[in-house]
Chain A
């Protein structure tokens, strides 16, 4: 955590810069209305504060220059000094110098202030009674520096959103032109389109880059929040943060802010035990909470761990049955990761008895929805008595996603790579009909498999998810996707390639079909539907339960 000195310094600089801006504004106004007492009083107050603060923190040059300017302005206020052109120039330069000093507080290479300017200020401050004659002594201070503007600009996120949308459109047209150019075989067109390709790519990544912010901008808010919640809950909590510098799209960070806050609050309120309880269990009185961000391939992973109560799997299993999600028999064989995944189910969150023992559940479905909305993943790992870890896997950028392209019934589809686990080819004989669905043994793991043609393009009453004979051909291409810790194999007709795609929202009336997260245009000009893996998984489960019920 930040030391108090560091905190004081940051506050000092922020406030000093505010004063500096206000001073510039007021002095310009004063030039126009030299008689205005209010302005003089305000300038005096700002310089006075700057002097006192700088003296307190030990920036003596700043307090010295502020003091000289303060004196000059109090003389003007008392009508002992005329607010003339020469004086205005020197005072402005004095204020500029203040700004320079404030900006260079951390700059060890910053030299001495211009002695001519300091002398000019002294002349104004010390030799006033005899104004006209003494003022003639003021040497024009000629600043050698150029007018310097900030290296940074602030830009509304709305404008960046617009740029990103435009570049999305451009990428689609670029792909189209590349494809046409390949068909036509014209050398000139080829060379232009390959240049267009490079420029578009660079533009796309530059805009994506401009939207990135460090995760630290969010993480830095947590020490205070954790402290406040811990005090309110009468707990002792030690927060460790790491990965401040990891970069992520600003809108993604915005969307998960509430989710993270919620998870942190849950961890302290329900996860970490009171100090006395912890001692009884042989743990340290102070609970440990850690928030870690790291890059994981193209994604960003945020991990929140506590060393508190953990989640009792036995109780969660019981609740899954009580809430009619699964039968007692089915729950028995559910691996722990899948048991925990039920904590994110909407119906679960309302289960009061669940939240009391597990301390999780309230609003976890809301957290999950937020993460789904940006195409991320969330899962939880927990050990009873030892603690709980939530892992959020988030895309770095919103608009462009890596995706896997494939074909079913001559229609093009894409699945975002964040949801794909692996791709396997299997012979029909390796698929088995079990309980109305197909299953396959993939590297020792039994995975439910579904023929996408059946699920997407066959009328519901004719659908048969467990009939092997409906498959075409001997070898089946299976894309294994994963959602909420549940794996599902999707059998597709043809597999194509991985490609960056720009997902566009579906237009009406197709937007009502929730199996698709959007649409993208391929270079060939073909429309490609983007499968929403969470929705497809949920749809499959509902179909399977229907089959089981019959």
Chain B
């Protein structure tokens, strides 16, 4: 079972994502509400994939992405953003994010992106 870490500062968003992913048979191994926790959990849990919100209370999603990639260059990261943040998303892709999901997202879209990214072995 593929293991996923969800990084998002909104409990509502985390709950939705978690339900969608668990229903589809993924194991959500951790949830981080801020950048600091995200970095710690990424190191500790070594998930197969991380979904990363780009706006976090302590640091930006981009900083978190750089931090994760510095420690685990092969970590698969999918950016979760809202409309209007294309600049940040593009930058994130340059720093090694594999794909992105735009809020509000549909279940199909989330599962499509996640399964595609996880398939690229």
Contact = CB atoms under 8 A, between A and B. Distances in A.
A51 interface: yes
Contacts of A48: 55, 82
Contacts of B82: 48, 51-52
B84 to A, nearest CB: 9
A370 B11 CA distance: 37
Interface string B45-63: 0000000000111000000
B10 interface: yes
A56 B103 contact: yes
A385 to B, nearest CB: 37
B113 interface: no
A182 interface: no
A430 interface: no
Given A52-B104, A55-B104, A56-B103, A15 B57 contact: no
Interface string A5-16: 001100110010
Nearest to A44: B55
Nearest to A52: B103
Interface in A437-475: none
A516 to B, nearest CB: 51
A48 B15 CA distance: 17
A53 B14 CA distance: 11
Contact of A55 (B11, B15, B103): B103
B110 to A, nearest CB: 11
Interface string A46-75: 001101110111000000000000000000
Interface string B19-56: 10000000000000000000000000000000000011
Contacts of A11: 11-12, 15
Contacts of A55: 103-104
Nearest to A16: B12
A66 B88 CA distance: 20
Interface residues of A, number: 17
Which range holds the interface residue count of chain B? 10 to 19
Contacts of B103: 52, 55-56
Contacts of B10: 15, 49, 52-53
A174 to B, nearest CB: 51
Nearest to B105: A56
A4 interface: yes
A51 B85 CA distance: 14
A7 B11 CA distance: 12
Nearest to A51: B82
A262 B22 CA distance: 30
A143 B10 CA distance: 31
B51 to A, nearest CB: 14
Interface in A454-498: none
A182 B39 CA distance: 78
A73 B18 CA distance: 31
- Select the residue from A12, A15, A56 with max chain B CB neighbours within 10 A: A56
A42 interface: yes
B13 interface: yes
9 contacts: A8-B15, A11-B12, A15-B10, A45-B9, A45-B57, A53-B10, A56-B12, A56-B16, A56-B103
Interface of A: 4, 7-8, 11-12, 15, 42, 44-45, 48-49, 51-53, 55-57
